[in-house]
Amino acid sequence: MLPPFALYRPSSLAEVADLLAAHRRDAALYAGGTELLLLLKEGLLRVQCLVDVKRVPGLAEIAAEGEVLRIGATARHRTVERSALVRARCPLVADVARHVANVRVRNVGTVGGNLAFADPHSDLATLYLTLDGMVRLWSRAGERDVALEEFLRGPYETAREEDEVLTAVRVRPWPAGTAGVYLKFGLYERPTLGVALAVSVDARGRVAAARLAVGCVGPRPRRFPAVEAEARGQTLGELAADAERLARAAAEGVDTTSDTHGSADYKRDMTRVFVRRALRIVAARAGGQEPHARYPHTIVV
């Protein structure tokens, strides 16, 4: 059962700002509600009113801005999954959307809500880190863009101020000739571990750039610049052969937390296992091969 609350349905950001200013900590921004309503049911959050942002025009829009793809905060996972624009520019973003939670959550839950809730067990946050994700925050005072890495401060904690509204996330598609993978592992509804990896290969067949992010295992997802640097310059054969060593380096650097998904040590070791798998899959894909990659309780995207 939900505790009683008032529901406001403003039709502009200015009205949202007025409501946030009037109610401050007694208000919560509401879009799909797939996370917020759970918190309210469980009594983990108490507010007097919800401010529904779904009627603000333009907030659900998905659009190309030059090379960058802008996904509006209230775009639903299902819309991202089916967007021809997303599929053309960032196919992995569409394919990962297809595997978020279940079809019911995808029909209702929004991209902005997912990021703003900052659940450590988020597929989107991990993947978007490898796409240089930037969130746009709007307030009466103006707009600012914050890199996802700085936006996500920790479990359920972001850089959003009380008077700010997350209006969109911008992702930068990988350059042509980049192979990517997202591995999602877990026995529960939310992933226990997510690994996103993209590798770009230059004309000599060597790794020009690697982007590696691991999420769900610790307080927030993160990139691994040192591992990415080590991969640069390798041939695809060397990358596959070096996968175990690189995966160990990632596992040593990862910050893990014990929770109901497993102990911190377990998650560190799973990080090693899945980064190694991701490296080998991407090395094969970059070489034009689709490996037969099947692992228990794992979705290979």
Partner 1 sequence: MPDTRTPSSFSITLSVNGRAVALDVPAHALLLDVLRDRLGLKGAKRSCDVQVCGACTVLVAGAPVSACTYLAVEADGLDVLTVEGLGSGERLDPLQEAFIEHGAVQCGFCTSGMLVAAKALLAEEPAPAPERVVHHLRGNLCRCTGYRKVVEAVVACGRASGERP
Chain residues in the site for partner 1 (CB under 8 A): 1-10, 15, 18-19, 33-34, 37-38, 41, 49-50, 78, 98, 101-105, 107-108, 189
C-beta closer to partner 1: residue 78 or 223 = 78
Please give the structure tokens belonging to residue 132. 């240089």
SS3 content of the chain, % helix, strand, coil (to 5): 35, 25, 35
Cα 178 from Cα 200, distance rounded (Å): 4
To partner 1, the closest distance from the beta carbon of 212 in angstroms equals 27
Q: Within 13 Å, how many C-alpha atoms sit on residue 133's CB side?
A: 26
- Within 10 A of 32 (CB to CB), how many other CB atoms are there? 21
To partner 1, the closest distance from the beta carbon of 119 in angstroms equals 13
To partner 1, the closest distance from the beta carbon of 197 in angstroms equals 23
Cα 21 from Cα 110, distance rounded (Å): 24
Q: Within 13 Å, how many C-alpha atoms sit on residue 43's CB side?
A: 1
To partner 1, the closest distance from the beta carbon of 101 in angstroms equals 7
To partner 1, the closest distance from the beta carbon of 189 in angstroms equals 5
C-beta closer to partner 1: residue 15 or 238 = 15
Number of H helices, E strands in the chain: 13, 15
C-beta closer to partner 1: residue 32 or 173 = 32
To partner 1, the closest distance from the beta carbon of 167 in angstroms equals 19
C-beta closer to partner 1: residue 13 or 115 = 13
For residue 220, what are the CA distances in angstroms to 72, 257, 259? 22, 10, 14
C-beta closer to partner 1: residue 10 or 215 = 10
C-beta closer to partner 1: residue 76 or 276 = 76
In terms of DSSP H, where are the helices of the chain?
A: 13-23, 36-42, 77-82, 84-89, 91-97, 103-108, 111-117, 123-129, 148-151, 225-231, 236-241, 243-253, 264-286
C-beta closer to partner 1: residue 82 or 248 = 82
Cα 252 from Cα 271, distance rounded (Å): 9
Closest CA to 81 of 93, 90, 65, 64: 93
Cα 185 from Cα 176, distance rounded (Å): 28
To partner 1, the closest distance from the beta carbon of 108 in angstroms equals 6
Please give the structure tokens belonging to residue 108. 């209702």
C-beta closer to partner 1: residue 120 or 133 = 120
Beta-bridged to residue 215, according to DSSP, are: 194
To partner 1, the closest distance from the beta carbon of 35 in angstroms equals 9
